[in-house]
Structure formats: C-alpha cells, structure tokens
Structure 1
Amino acid sequence: MSKKRPLLIVESDAGYLQTLQRQLADEPYALTATTSADDALSAFAKIQHEVVLLGANLAGDLTALQVCQRLFEGDIAPIVLMLVGTDKAELIIEAHRIGVIDFIVPGIDAAEFIQVVERAFARAEAEAVGRAAERDRRRHIEKQLASRRVAEQLLRRQNDKFARALFGNIHTSFTQGRGIGSLTTLLAMLAGSPTTPDGQNYLIPKEILDLIFSNQSAVGDMIDMFSELQLLVSQDFVLHDVTVGELHAIARNLVYELKPQIDIRGHSVVLNDIPARQAGGKLKVNWEFMRKALKELVLNALKFSPVGSTVMILTEHLQTRVLVTVCNLPEGNGADGVMGIPEEQRALIFEPFFRVSRVVHEQYSTLEYGLGLTFVEKIVQMHHGNIRCTTLNDFERQDMAGTEMIAMEIELPI
C-alpha cells in the first residue's frame, strides 16, 4: 500500500478549512490543517509537504505572500495553490510572479477542486524527478571523469560482443513481426494456392491478401524510415528560432497525438511545468524532426515500461543548454529475460540495428528494425546537441525510494 502524500492546508476561516478537509478526506493525502501561518511554517519545516493550499487572507502578522516567500526559501519548494477570490487581481498577479502555480476560488465544484489538487501533486512529482535527474547527471559526470580509462577498455571488449550480436539483431529485425520476413513467408504460401480451371489465375483467400497488404505497408514504412535517414544526412537541415516554452509545447501536443498508444496498456504521461522566467529562452530547432525524435522516445518508453505506469517528459532550461528527458520505469523481465537497459549496453543502443530486447511490440504499429534510436541520435546531432541513456533514482517520495528509472536525455545548446 502506497504511503499517503503530505498536503498542508492554511486557512484562517475555520468553517472553510473544515469544508476543505471534508472534500479531501477520502483522497490519498496525509492532511495537516491549521488556521495559523506560524503553525503552518512550523509544520512545513518538519514534514516538507509537497503541496500547500494557502488562504489569501491570513490572521496574524504574516501575509499570504510572506508565507509563500518563506515556503519558497528552502532547497525544495512546494507546489502552492492559493485560495483566493476573483476580486483579488493584484494579489493574484503578485502571487503568480513569486511562484504560485494555480488559484482556487470559493464555490469551486468539489470534483474540479480534487482535479486541481491532483494536478499539483503530478507537478510536484515531475519536479522531484527533475531534481533527481540533476543529481544523477552530476553523479554520472563525476563517475565518467574518474573511470574514463576503464570505460574505454570496457567498450573495446564490448565491440567484439557487439559484432557478434549485430547480425543476430539484423536477422531478428527483418524476420520477426510485420515486414519483410512475414511478407516473404506469405508470398511463399501462394505457390501452393489453387488456380482457376483455365490455370491462368490463382485463387487466393481474402485473409491471405489482407495479411500481404498489411505487411507490404510495414515494408513501405521501413523504406520511408531509410529515406528519412538518407534525407536527414543529405539535405540542408533548417533550424528555426524557438523558445523553451514552444519546445515544451511540442512535447505537450505529442501527448495528445499519442493518446491511443498511451491507452493501449493503461499508461499515463506527465509533463513538468516551465517557469515563466525560463520559457522565453531561445534555441534553434527543426520543428518536424524534433517532434519525430520525441515521438520515437515516448513510444519506446511506452513499449518498455510496466502496464499502468507513468512516463515523464521533463523540459529544463539550464543556463547554456536545454535538457529534454523522457523517463520511464523499466519493465520486469520479459520473454527474453531483459529488464531495462544494462549499463554496458547504453553506449551501443544508438548503433544501427542494435536491440537490447528482441521482443516485437506489434500493438504499437511501429517499426521494429533497431533504427529508431539511430534516427533520434542523428536528429539530435543535426541540432548540434547530444543524447545519452542514463538512469534516475533517489526519489524524494518515500513510496518511490530505491526506484530506478530509465532516462533518455537530449541536450540542446541555447
């Protein structure tokens, strides 16, 4: 049973405070409720609540804005939702400026109120993953600098292993699932089909023809993939000025586009929020190819994560660069015994035809030729960026402690 997540409510109106508590009583939150700003700050110092519901009119010496500033002073700031009337325009503007993400007005529908709180916890989780990502990046950089020589020796040993596996992976890519292998088998089956009395035509069952058409379509998709790779390296790659906020919008729109695939195994996809002060940062992006790269990464995350789990897309503006990270929990041992991406193979997964798992996921109607990550890497390189596979762990949520996620990080220059 997962641990209830801490939620702090600060409201000087005792009656309204009790109403809020009743509305949240059946939700998976550990409530701390108080009418005092000082008591609220003391409680937050002990528990570090992920989300705070803060009344706009507080009794005592501290105003709501001053309480916000105190809450935001620590290393890990909570998600603050302010309880405020629509007549407090100046307060709303100032609260939003210092970091309040949403506002709840009196009389809000109970179901809508619960949804606002749930979204706040989703944002808190995404921010926790972002912080974990930054810590892990530092840890990985330090580890890489300290062990570069060992890594080079390991890579040389892996080259032999990669060479042995390469042709096996190519064979798997072209023979399993929809595509060339199935099409070849179906065409061979036609040789034994009956003919018309005059022997001039074959009598072919509709089911066989439907399968042929389906596999012909898959082969066409494969040819399109090769054509796009060729186009990518041969044409002038046009980059446009976009903001960090617009890059984040590509990911957000992609979630709507991929909803049918997200629903196949009951997944959910969560995006972090971009602070207003960071959303205006400029970088160079080819819209269409970046969308294709992110789509490939999200589909990979959906295919190789547990049923009903959450895939996260994090966009971060870090001084001279922008990071876009797609991360997911690794699926348990599958049919071929592979779980996640072994560390010794993370430098190889971007090689053409290299596949960690030979399991085919036909329900996603994607190509299974071991070229997807090669395509993504080439797109990122054309943006003068880098992509790496790493892991995220050390979550701040206690019910996720020790959990390790697979993360694909795209780093783009500002």
Structure 2
Amino acid sequence: MNEKRILLAEDDLISAKLFQESLTSLGYQVTLAEDGRKAKEIFTETPFPIVITDYDMPEMNGIELIDFLKDEEDEPIIIVLTNHSETSLIIEIMKKGIYDYIVKPIDTEELSLKLHRALEIYNMKRLEKATKREREMRLESHLDWIKWKERIGGSGNFKNLNQNLFESLKTSFNQGTGFGALISLLEIVSDSAQREGNFYKIDSEIMELIKLNADMAGKALTTFADIERILNGKIELEKISLSDVYNEIKKLTTNLSPFLSIQNNHLYLSERKPSFENNEININKKYFIDALTEIIINAFKFSVPESSIHIVIYIEVKSFVISIYNSPVINSDRVEGIPLPFENIVFEPFFRLTKFVYDEYKTLDFGLGLTKVESIIKRFNGKIEIKNIFDHLTAKSTPKTKVICRVALPLV
C-alpha cells in the first residue's frame, strides 16, 4: 500500500483542486472529500496516514472530524487548514492534539517539509503500535518472555555467563570461517608442499588463502578477548544523561549514513523527548556505540533494498528503550527475518542466518557481532531481544514482517 496517501477534506472545490495538484506534484496520492461527513465515511472504509482538513466546513466541521479521527484505532496524522491566524483559535486547534496547522494561502515548500516529517512520525507510531500488538498476541498465545528472561539470567552473574560462553565457543571453535578453513588449508599444505633444502615450496594462491583466513581468525580472537573482558567486568561504567545519549545516537546515524546508499535505504530517528533531560543510564560510552553500530549495520545489511530503517527511542517502566526496526530480506533458505526458533540462537558465537560476506559494509561477518552486543548490554544490566513482528494495523492488506531489535537499559 502506498504510504504517501492523503485524505483532503475541503468544501471549496476550486481550492481543493488546486491543493490536490500541489500535493500530487510533491508525490502524494490524494483523495478528496467535500466535507467532514464524507471524509469520515472515506476514512472508515480505508484509513489514511495523513488527513488534511479545512477548519470551516458544512455538515461536519474540522473540529468534529478531528474528534472522530482521534478516537480511531488507526489514528492518522492530522493537519488543519484555516483562513484564520488568530492566536486563540490556533491554540484551540492545537489543544485537540493535532500534528500541525497551515494558514491559507499555502506555502508549497513549507507544506512539503511538514508532510515529510508527518510521514516519519506516522511510521514511528505505527511501528510502536505494531510492537505492542505483537507483544499482546504472544502473551495471549502463552508465548511470553519467560524463556527469554531465563536465558538472560540474573544481572551481574558474569561468572556463569562467562562459563556458558566459553563452553559454546569450544563447540563452535573449529566450525567458524577462518578456523576451519585454516585447518583444511594446512592439511593441503602438508600434503602438497615440496621441500627444497631448508624451505617448503607451496602454491601462492594457497598462501594467500592462509593469510586471509589467518587475518579473519585473528580478528575473531580479538573480538573473543573483548567479549571476555566485558563479561569479566573489566570495563568502567559512567552515568550519562539520556539527552547526551540521544546526541551520541544522532551523531552515530550521521556517521553511518554513507552505508545507506549501498541499497538505497533510508534511516529515521525519533525525536528527542523532554524527559531525557532528567534521566540517566549507567554505561560505557565506547562499548555502547560499538553495540549500537553493530545493530544498525545489521539492519542495513539485511533490509530490503529501498526500504526504511526506524530507530525509536523512549522511556518505558524505568527503562531507556531503543527499538530498531527494518524490513527483512528472505535469505537463500527462505527464512524471513528472525523467526521464533532463531530468537535465542542468533546470539550464539559463530551462528549466522546467512553465509554471505558483505565486504561493502566493512564488517567481520564471522558470527560474533551479536554475541559481543549481548555481552555489552548484559554488562550494562540491560536486556536485548531480536525478533519478527507483524504489522496488522491495516485490515485490508497482508501483514508485513518487520524485525525489531529492542534494547532496554535501566534508568539510574
């Protein structure tokens, strides 16, 4: 379904047609309604992301239409058109909880900016609502988070976490790319190398492969050592205000934006909340950014081309929550996103849902990235989950799969 759809309620036919042309030139699909009552009928049949309504209309005026739309489950972003510029009237309109207002005559450039931001906010709200609904559906089906909480275990229990991690690594060590390949290559060298005096002569291509895999194995061991350092509590934490954390996240999104051009994706960050000023979390800034970088790059790598990635940040039940949403690709095994059976094992060392290497993103692609991310979040006494959710918000369309990576860090 085209997200750039607008329902326009305007009783002046000439003004409505002119406005429709302006909106169409900006790339929006516009449906006209001659008054509030007709707009109500159209919206009831097919909800719209954005509704622009005139203030003065017969039958059902703009205020009455707003009251109806605010009570709808699929509440749109509402913008009011008015000929009036009196402060008292504008305040009355804004008290209704609408997104914005536009005083006629309309400035096309101003309108374009407002509509672009309105769509961003609509998509953020839709993702939040989809997440909430998915959570309710899981609880109703007895698929709650008990198993996930058991896996996370008690906060600060680094000794047990460390032991479990290394036991898993022992099992996986020789199966990972780099380690297993090195063993195979060394066997080939042992069988095929020709001795010439005090030296052995081997094929140059085999040597290049050995160097490549040795480099990968070295990087994996460095990551491995980093994980051990994190789990043993050998990193210092500091209290940082959520406002500063938000600034760091915003800076990170700017730094990572060049990667968006690889698949023509788009990245959106929710707005700063006033409550961020008076709250803090206890983290190590460097490792926090490392973890978030891994998560965001993963969203870039495994998203459908030309799709959007949304980062939604908010406070919920004494926790600072960062939710990252993306539209997942279907891999070669016909797996879409992170289905339920994979929700826990994606954090296991060397586990990968796809065997492709993504050189353009400059990542290790070794299966240790999320293992490190999880160890960082646990060190901060936080929780992380990655799973599929389904957008059931539009009754007349097929639910779409989204992947959500949700990080919750306790406020201090």
Bigger shift: residues 350-359 or 337-346: 337-346
Q: Corresponding residue for 1:19?
A: 18
- Asked if 1:78 is matched to 2:94, the reply is no
Matches within 5 A, 1:15-414: 15-25=14-24, 27-34=27-34, 36-55=35-54, 57-59=55-57, 67-83=65-81, 87-89=85-87, 91-92=89-90, 95-96=93-94, 98-106=96-104, 110=108, 113-144=111-142, 171-174=175-178, 225-226=223-224, 228-233=226-231, 234-235=233-234, 237-243=236-242, 247-273=245-271, 282-286=279-283, 287-334=285-332, 339-397=336-394, 401-414=398-411
TM-score normalized with structure 2 length: 0.73
Count of residue pairs the alignment pairs up: 383
Question: Structure 1 residues 96 and 213 mapped into 2: Cα distance closer, same or farther (>3 Å)?
Answer: farther
Question: Structure 1 residues 23 and 215 mapped into 2: Cα distance closer, same or farther (>3 Å)?
Answer: farther
Please list the CA deviations of residues 224-253 of structure 1 after superposition, one character each: whole Å capped at 9, or x if unmatched: 64454344343354242434x665554443
Please list the CA deviations of residues 55-101 of structure 1 after superposition, one character each: whole Å capped at 9, or x if unmatched: 4x424698755654442233332112234589555555565555333
For residues 338 and 388 of structure 2, the distance between their equivalents in structure 1, rounded to whole angstroms, comes to 9
Question: Structure 1 residues 348 and 110 mapped into 2: Cα distance closer, same or farther (>3 Å)?
Answer: same
Please list the CA deviations of residues 316-357 of structure 1 after superposition, one character each: whole Å capped at 9, or x if unmatched: 4334434322222222233x6654334323211112222222
For residues 291 and 99 of structure 2, the distance between their equivalents in structure 1, rounded to whole angstroms, comes to 30
C-alpha contact (below 8 Å) 1:267/1:307 kept by paired residues: yes
C-alpha contact (below 8 Å) 1:237/1:382 kept by paired residues: no
Question: Structure 1 residues 214 and 261 mapped into 2: Cα distance closer, same or farther (>3 Å)?
Answer: farther
Please list the CA deviations of residues 280-306 of structure 1 after superposition, one character each: whole Å capped at 9, or x if unmatched: 673415344333222211111111222
Consecutive unaligned residues in structure 2, runs of 5 or more: 151-166, 194-203
2:78 corresponds to which letter in structure 1? V
For residues 265 and 307 of structure 2, the distance between their equivalents in structure 1, rounded to whole angstroms, comes to 5
Deviation at 1:136, TM superposition (A): 0.9
Identity of aligned residues (%): 22
For residues 164 and 285 of structure 1, the distance between their equivalents in structure 2, rounded to whole angstroms, comes to 29
For residues 173 and 15 of structure 2, the distance between their equivalents in structure 1, rounded to whole angstroms, comes to 63
Superposition RMSD in Å: 4.6
Question: Structure 1 residues 240 and 4 mapped into 2: Cα distance closer, same or farther (>3 Å)?
Answer: closer
Bigger shift: residues 225-234 or 14-23: 225-234
Deviation at 1:393, TM superposition (A): 0.6
SS at 2:176 equivalent: helix
For residues 260 and 218 of structure 1, the distance between their equivalents in structure 2, rounded to whole angstroms, comes to 25
For residues 213 and 109 of structure 1, the distance between their equivalents in structure 2, rounded to whole angstroms, comes to 61
C-alpha contact (below 8 Å) 1:239/1:285 kept by paired residues: yes
C-alpha contact (below 8 Å) 1:127/1:272 kept by paired residues: no
Please list the CA deviations of residues 125-179 of structure 1 after superposition, one character each: whole Å capped at 9, or x if unmatched: 2321211111111222444568979x99xxxxxxxxxx99985675433269xxx
Consecutive unaligned residues in structure 1, runs of 5 or more: 153-162, 193-204
Q: Corresponding residue for 1:201?
A: none
Deviation at 1:51, TM superposition (A): 0.7
Q: Corresponding residue for 1:156?
A: none
SS at 2:124 equivalent: helix
